[in-house]
Amino acid sequence: MMTAEQLMAAHKANLETLFGLTSKAFEGVEKLVELNLTATKAALSDSANSTQASLSVKDAQELMSLQASLFQPLAEKSAAYSRHLYEISTGTTSEFAKAIEAQTAGAQKQFSSMLESTLANAPAGSESAVAVMKNAVSAASTAFETVQQAVKQATEMAESNFNAMNKQAAAAVKTPAKKR
């Protein structure tokens, strides 16, 4: 059984974690809003410049050339936007994962401590039941750690794939521009 002090300490720790995660979530939203405002301002400015340039075009050939010259910067800006969006997302997700991992580790430790205390006071003759319980807890802990490791590896692989795709997209955008 947990004492009143232990319950209060656990409640306080949970509230601190909640407020910390809420703060991290708002930081992520702030970064996202800032990114979108910057992108919107740049898009408006680019649109105004493109409109001005298209109004000064004298023939269809010049218009086609103008449109072609606008494509590469647009693609590069889109790739940069995607990169920043991904960085904000992974940064915020990483902060959440760290907090959840810490909370989980603390809960596992507390559960193990309570279980050990309970099993230490088990009645005589229940050794086999105690052994089964310890094995079950050990197996569950191992399974949880395996899942955590698999999630980390999948996240790293997804990040690696995203970075590779981003490099390929940037190279594809630059290649046609060089051929012209």
Output 146-152 pairs: Cβ under 8 A, ≥24 positions apart: 148/101
Residues 134 and 170: their CA atoms lie apart, in Å, by 54
| pLDDT attached to residue 175 | 64
Distances 26 to 19, 20, 89 between C-alpha atoms, Å: 11, 10, 12
Domain ranges across the chain: 4-179
For the segment 78-112, what is each residue's pLDDT rounded down to a tens digit? 888 988 998 998 889 888 888 888 888 887 787 77
Q: Which of 10, 36, 25 is nearest to 106 (CA)?
A: 10
Residues 83 and 162: their CA atoms lie apart, in Å, by 9
For the segment 122-167, what is each residue's pLDDT rounded down to a tens digit? 787 777 877 887 788 788 878 878 887 887 788 778 778 877 777 7
User: 50, 70 in Cβ contact below 8 A?
Assistant: yes
pTM score, whole prediction:
0.63
Helices (H), the chain: 4-55, 60-120, 127-179
